[in-house]
A and B are shown apart, each in its own frame.
Chain A
Amino acid sequence: MANINELMDGWSYGQQTNITTPAAQTAIWRLTNLNTKPWAKVPVNEDDRAEIGKGHEFPTQLFKSHYNMPTYEISKYCSSEFLAFVMAFSLGNVTAVAGTGATPPTTYTIVPAMGATNPTGLELPYFSFVQQMRPGASAILDEILIGCAIKNWKLAIKNSPGRASATLVAECVTTGQYLTPSGITLPTGAQQLHEFNAGMVTALTINGINYLAGGSGKNFVSLDASWENNFRPGFFPGSGEQDGFQIQGRFEWGDRSFAVQFVVRVQAGSAEYGNLVNQVIGPATITFTRDANNVFTMDIQSMGFNVVELSNTDGIATMQVTGVQLYDPTNGLVTMSITTPQAGICAPPA
């Protein structure tokens, strides 16, 4: 018997060499997770009930089929490190530039990879996920899941106090390949990250409306942004096996989507409705600044409004705005810029 609080999660911030080679221990974090469940492994058996020739309709044999690995949420408060990890592994085209000084941060610039120019085609970088309970000779759980990828993420910014005002949830997939015992020794304690809260928003301009200053200042209520890679199933001839069960050998993105919704208070002359009716488009920028070494900026290159709907948020008249993010021929869809003390995020093995 073990308390779920004993569960230790770790995952690689460095990318795997390929989908089947686990990341090195040196590139694995131990981090906390608001999702209290372990990542389940679901091997699936099939039987012969549909086959005739047995003399009856009942199954007589079991056959190994495949690993039907469920998706898994890594849910955390926003931090410069976790934002860099999620954006890098979910979008795919990453540059990392080391800063200067005694403890130089790294600045990551990240955009969505495009299939026509991505060196790995429709595949994103892969990472490894470690989960352990009492690792060692009498381990309850000690495994490393190999070939994990980020299927989608949800970024939520709310008008509430504390770390819960800025959260990021990444839903991950994995192939079914694993090693147990993992062979990984996680650090003694979970790494402390540099977290943000909504009070640290230092730039918030959407489609020409500045929500931090001027007439629209103090009117912003919340924002939800999400990304979906819509992976295609990864079973194919030669995709591999684990324990005799077929596993997936690739995660290729399908039709990806990027959604942004936000809520603002209504005031006389609110510009949002006019922007929708007049089909005004413009960039959107949101920046969190904790200090010079921990900054996150999401630059949406071109945004219009699809829906502006009057609503009620806790007794205040509000508008819920659904954005439509347009692909700019020069600057693309969106650029994530993250400065963080953590080097090597999404870096290939040395």
Chain B
Amino acid sequence: MQSPQGDEIKEVPATSAALTPLMAAGWHQVPAPVKPTTTPKEAK
């Protein structure tokens, strides 16, 4: 979810109870940020 000012993104539990107060305050859904991937270490 992204804040109405666009300066904050946070992951929120996908429940109506958690989403409602944020959405009522103007937060809206945005695609989840891409998490950095870790390269698996080569087998020795």
CB distance from A303 to the nearest CB of B (A): 15
Asked if A93 and B28 make an inter-chain contact with CB atoms under 8 angstroms apart, the answer reads yes
Asked if B24 and A330 make an inter-chain contact with CB atoms under 8 angstroms apart, the answer reads yes
* A337: interface (CB < 8 Å): yes
Which single member of B20, B27, B29 contacts A331 (CB below 8 Å)? B20
With the chains together, A118 CA to B16 CA distance in Å? 19
CB-CB contacts of B19-41 with A at 8 A, as 1s and 0s? 11101111111000000000000
**How many residue pairs at the A-B interface have CB separations less than 8 Å?**
51
Asked if B25 and A117 make an inter-chain contact with CB atoms under 8 angstroms apart, the answer reads yes
CB distance from B32 to the nearest CB of A (A): 11
Interface extent on A, as a size class?
Answer: 20 to 34
Asked if A335 and B25 make an inter-chain contact with CB atoms under 8 angstroms apart, the answer reads no
Asked if A111 and B14 make an inter-chain contact with CB atoms under 8 angstroms apart, the answer reads no
With the chains together, A321 CA to B16 CA distance in Å? 27
Interface extent on B, as a size class?
Answer: 10 to 19
With the chains together, A250 CA to B43 CA distance in Å? 60
CB distance from A88 to the nearest CB of B (A): 12
Asked if B23 and A109 make an inter-chain contact with CB atoms under 8 angstroms apart, the answer reads yes
With the chains together, A330 CA to B24 CA distance in Å? 7
B residues in contact with A109, CB < 8 Å: 16, 19-20, 23
* B1: interface (CB < 8 Å): yes
Contact segment of A72-80, A94-102, A144-152: A94-102
A and B contact pairs by CB, cutoff 8 A, 15 listed: A93-B28, A95-B19, A96-B29, A109-B16, A117-B27, A117-B28, A118-B26, A297-B16, A299-B20, A330-B24, A331-B21, A332-B23, A333-B24, A335-B16, A335-B19
Which residues on B are within 8 Å of A, measured CB to CB? 1, 4, 14, 16, 19-21, 23-29
Query: A109-B16, A297-B16 are known contacts; what are 14 more A-B pairs with Cβ within 8 Å?
Result: A93-B23, A93-B28, A95-B19, A95-B23, A95-B29, A97-B14, A116-B26, A117-B4, A117-B26, A118-B26, A299-B16, A332-B21, A332-B24, A335-B16
